[in-house]
Amino acid sequence: MRPPYPMIRMAGYLWAVPNTALGLTIGLVLGGRFRRVAGVIEVDGPRIGRVLAKLWVPAAALTLGHCVLGNSPRSLERTRRHERVHVRQYERWGPLFIPTYLVISIWLYARGRDGYRENPFEREAYESESCDIRDD
């Protein structure tokens, strides 16, 4: 299906480019397998999986712009709906997404709350799907 406003779609891709480049670089450095799925580059591999397992909140997948890093093709497929919400968030927030996400998480943790589950970016993504992205 073609987006109704191609120029707006292109602007979203361009605004997210710095984060996408970071994701692609990480995927290359960690020797990931690349594939394009509906305009998003998905990258998986065992070394990516080990890095994702060691994050402060272990994950099956992680989105950086229009690049989604996952521990396996199965995890990428299972988390696709959740991660596509993050792709759209990167299109809106661009290079401001990561610092904004981190500031909100730190602020929540400082107040004794869950900086991951209560982060509005994650809440929006979890509302889009029913599975727990950390299960594999």
Instruction: Identify the CA nearest to 92 among candidates 33, 14, 4.
Output: 14
Look at residue 61 and tell me whether its pLDDT is greater than 70: yes
108, with CB counted inside 10 A (0-12, 13-18, 19+), is middle
Residue 89's nearest CA partner among 65, 123, 115 is: 65
What's the whole-number mean pLDDT along residues 64-85?
A: 97
User: Which pLDDT value is given to residue 43?
Assistant: 98
Q: What is the pLDDT of residue 9?
A: 80
Mean pLDDT, to the nearest integer, of 86-108?
97
Strands 67-70 and 40-44: parallel
Q: What is the dihedral of CA 122, 124, 127, 132, to 10 degrees?
A: -10
CA-wise closest residue to 133 among 66, 91, 100, 85: 85
Listed in sequence order, the DSSP H helices in 43-95 are 46-53, 73-78, 80-93
pLDDT over 80 at 88, yes or no: yes
